Chains A and B, each alone.
Chain A
Amino acid sequence: MTALRIAATGMEAQQTRVATIANNIANMSTTAYSARRASFADLLYRQEVTPGVLSSRTGTIVPGGVQIGIGVRTAAVTANPTQGVLTNTQGDLDIAIEGRGYFDVELPSGEIAFTRDGRFSLDPNGLIVTAEGFQVAGGLAVPEIARSVRISNDGQAFAIFDDGTPPQQIGIFQITTFANEQGLEALGGNLFRETEASGVPLTGFAGIDGAGFLRQGYLEESTVDVVAEIADLIEAQRGYELNSRVMTAADEMLSAATRIR
């Protein structure tokens, strides 16, 4: 009985949708999180009567045919890389990217990962690191005696001193863009990894070749729109119920079939 299985694919799809919504809502306060959305596609069709076959000797053809679908599948869960709202935090090492691009982060394994989460801090050696302690690529280090750090819009970092020493350039932030940001693989911890789908990382600097500018003292909020997510959640829940109603009906028809004598 195909109706039972079709309804099961429908329920599964709505479950994926609810899981995606749950993850979005759970991450509504995650820095630089982009809301994800599940999209669906119909499955293959069983051709009972192929449209266009001859229906008589005189050459008339079947206009519609009978094509019976076998359900739905999740086609993709994609992040929509839009700009989140920038909130002012006044933090010296809170840096938001306004526009496209990712910061390069060196993982302990030596691999380069990418993030838009610009909540950085200093490690004991004065190196600029992410909240998880991974070093920002480029080896930016702030001298111990520096009073503060000044980061320009195009990514130049300067150490500012109290004793009248002129500001000293300590490095520059690399910004990487991708042909297809949606193809990045999420590693968790706000980190991403390049894949075949994302294309090769195009490493450059802020404000050049399509990369966005940096804003010191700001953090990018998540792009989750809670109201839209809740509306989506209600729709998904109703969709689930509709599919379960189909399952009940199919079940009752099956039991009627077993009673035929």
Chain B
Amino acid sequence: MSDAITVSLSRQTGLLNELSVIANNIANANTEGYRTEAALFSEFVSTRADEPSVSMGALRAHFPVLDQGALIETGAVFDLAIDGDGWFAVNRGGEVLLTRAGRFQTDSDGQLVTPDGDPVLDDVGTPVQLPPNAIEVAVSSDGTVTADGLGVAQIGILMAEPEGLSRVSDNLWRNDGPVRFAEEARIRQGFLEGSNVSPVEEMARLIEVQRMYEAGANLGESEHDRILSLIEALGTRR
């Protein structure tokens, strides 16, 4: 295969991957606390002795766009949204994971849990426990949980560096970098943070990927024609 075809194939493989990323963003456009995944193409240069170098594009990295999603008012007592930076901490199987999806509820023991049943942690890393018969539960903007006027817990808000974050599924993130507690967290009760996927941008990306892919396919085709006509021309020259 000629360089032209190899180069465009490497690009097309990357574009297929990017299509999956866009599809995942759009599928999660209504997932609470979801963060858009952006793709980064980078060039790598293949050099061979005595030949001009060829540069190829490849999908090298993705990075999550950590902008805040829109806050949606739900009015539910245990729907919490973080306004600004920071993450809720939840405990899954002994591991502390992070989430921005604040749709919580209580379990049969009165612990504050995610829809998957993972307990939400307070500012010292223990599960938030509510009295089972509380009538009025309020969460103040700094994360203090009061049940019928008595303070019962303080919801922990963690700050993490974007470099250490990786996605786990179920709206959770794993953090391998340093964490610290947020000094100034702003929690809004009765709100949920939507995903930060912008459907318009994703559509534009989708069309771009599709056209680029077709361009790559066309390039392959015209390269094929070029070589074919070359062979024909060389064949009839005798």
Q: Which residues of A contact B (CB under 8 A)?
A: 1-4, 6-7, 9-10, 13-14, 17, 37, 39-45, 48-52, 62-72, 75-76, 78, 80, 82, 99-100, 177-180, 182-183, 196-200, 202, 209-210, 235-236, 238-239, 242-243, 245-246, 249-250, 252-253, 256-257, 259-261
Q: B74–A80 contact, CB under 8 A?
A: yes
Q: How far, in whole Å, are A129 and B188 apart by their CA atoms in the complex?
A: 42
Q: B20–A49 contact, CB under 8 A?
A: no
Given A242-B29, A242-B199, A259-B221, the answer on whether A179 and B169 have CB atoms closer than 8 Å is no
20 sampled A-B residue pairs with Cβ under 8 A: A4-B23, A10-B28, A13-B30, A14-B30, A41-B171, A42-B34, A42-B171, A51-B163, A66-B61, A67-B166, A67-B167, A68-B21, A69-B24, A76-B115, A179-B132, A180-B105, A182-B106, A210-B135, A249-B209, A253-B210
With a cutoff of 8 Å between Cβ atoms, the chain B residues found around residue A178 in the complex are 132
Q: Which 9 A-B pairs have the closest CB atoms?
A: A10-B27, A199-B108, A210-B133, A64-B61, A69-B24, A76-B115, A179-B132, A6-B23, A3-B23
With a cutoff of 8 Å between Cβ atoms, the chain A residues found around residue B171 in the complex are 41-42, 75
With a cutoff of 8 Å between Cβ atoms, the chain B residues found around residue A210 in the complex are 133-135
Q: A242–B37 contact, CB under 8 A?
A: no
Q: Beta-carbon contacts of B53-68 to A below 8 Å, as 1s and 0s?
A: 0000001111100000
Q: A256–B29 contact, CB under 8 A?
A: no
With a cutoff of 8 Å between Cβ atoms, the chain B residues found around residue A243 in the complex are 23, 26-27
User: A9, A42, A253: which contacts B19 (Cβ < 8 A)?
Assistant: A253
Q: B116–A41 contact, CB under 8 A?
A: yes
Q: A71–B24 contact, CB under 8 A?
A: yes
B27 to nearest A CB, angstroms? Answer: 3
B45 to nearest A CB, angstroms? Answer: 16
B109 to nearest A CB, angstroms? Answer: 7
The answer to whether B75 has its CB under 8 Å from any CB of chain A is yes
Residue of chain B at shortest CB distance from A246? B23
The answer to whether B213 has its CB under 8 Å from any CB of chain A is yes
B127 to nearest A CB, angstroms? Answer: 14
Name B's interface SS. Answer: mixed
With a cutoff of 8 Å between Cβ atoms, the chain B residues found around residue A80 in the complex are 74-76
Residue of chain A at shortest CB distance from B19? A3
Name A's interface SS. Answer: mixed
B222 to nearest A CB, angstroms? Answer: 11
Chain B interface residue count, Cβ-Cβ cutoff 8 angstroms: 65
User: B24, B30, B60, B109: which contacts A179 (Cβ < 8 A)?
Assistant: B109
Given A78-B105, A179-B132, A196-B108, the answer on whether A67 and B27 have CB atoms closer than 8 Å is no
The answer to whether B203 has its CB under 8 Å from any CB of chain A is yes
The answer to whether B153 has its CB under 8 Å from any CB of chain A is no
With a cutoff of 8 Å between Cβ atoms, the chain A residues found around residue B26 in the complex are 7, 10, 239, 242-243, 246
Q: How far, in whole Å, are A253 and B168 apart by their CA atoms in the complex?
A: 29
A55 to nearest B CB, angstroms? Answer: 10
User: A182, A252, A259: which contacts B105 (Cβ < 8 A)?
Assistant: A182
With a cutoff of 8 Å between Cβ atoms, the chain B residues found around residue A76 in the complex are 103, 115
With a cutoff of 8 Å between Cβ atoms, the chain A residues found around residue B22 in the complex are 3, 246
Residue of chain A at shortest CB distance from B168? A45
With a cutoff of 8 Å between Cβ atoms, the chain A residues found around residue B59 in the complex are 66
**Listed residue (B19, B23, B168) with the most chain A CB atoms within 10 angstroms of its CB:** B23
Q: How far, in whole Å, are A241 and B173 apart by their CA atoms in the complex?
A: 29
Chain B contacts with A in 62-85, Cβ cutoff 8 A: 62-63, 74-76
